[in-house]
Amino acid sequence: MRAIVLIYLLHAAHVAHATHSTNPFHWNSPGEEPTPTEAKPGGECIADQGSCGCCVMWKEMDRLTTYFNTTLSKLENKYAQTKRSLDKIEASRSAFSVALTDNPHFSCLGPFNFDKLITFQHVFINLGDGYSVDTGVFTVTHSGVYSLALTVFSDAGSPGNLLAACADLVVNGKMVSGNREKNKLDQEDTGTLVMALHLTAGDTVAVNLPTGCFLCDENSHYNTFSGFLLYPE
């Protein structure tokens, strides 16, 4: 009898084992660990919503950091370009304005029996130090288009005397324009010329007093010579 019962139990165990091996569904016994399953993409978010939110936040922070660094780099490049342009403009600043004399007593320069460069002694501005009070010559420091102006004044001293108010604007030793007033009709007269010239670094600009001409002035500054850089190259 015992042998029959044992044979029956062994048969039942064999059937149960075969059924468990072929059955895709399995329920764990109380206290039994769940059977591991293959991980699927996104499973961590299903398993832990908190971790998933943190991951998304880190990705967004990384994207914003990259965007910020790229934008900052572009701004720094723009700033560097702007600074270089401003430095170039500041370095090329050039302007001068001078007058004949500071003498409080009215006096005249000339006439001479030869041409003479005028040395304007009073300096209103000499930005860039291009003008020399020793020689009366403005030396171009930066190439570009310059605005130049010359005003002359003279007094014959009394009616009927010869008035000879004249001066030439000279570039590199050659006259480019001039004022002329020679007659016995006016006791005093003035003249002004204004022009724009393209000048190259190293060019010289000065004012020539022609033979027989004379200019008169005091510290009221009737005779002036000015120039400034309009468009640098």
Is residue 10 exposed (0-12), middle (13-18) or buried (19+ Cβ within 10 Å)? exposed
**Mean pLDDT taken over the chain:** 82
pLDDT > 50? residue 201: yes
Q: Which two tokens stand for residue 231?
A: 């468009």
Q: Where are the beta strands (DSSP E) in the chain?
A: 95-99, 107-109, 116-117, 122-127, 138-139, 144-155, 163-171, 174-183, 188-199, 204-209, 215-217, 224-232
Give the DSSP letter of residue 158.
Answer: S
Spatial distance between the Cα atoms of 209 and 154, rounded to a whole number of angstroms: 12
Place of tokens 């001409």: 213
- Residue 162, pLDDT above cutoff 70: yes
What CATH class does 91-232 carry?
Answer: mainly beta
What is the maximal distance between C-alpha atoms in the chain?
A: 169
Res 17 pLDDT > 70: no
Confidence of residue 139 (pLDDT cuts 50, 70, 90): very high
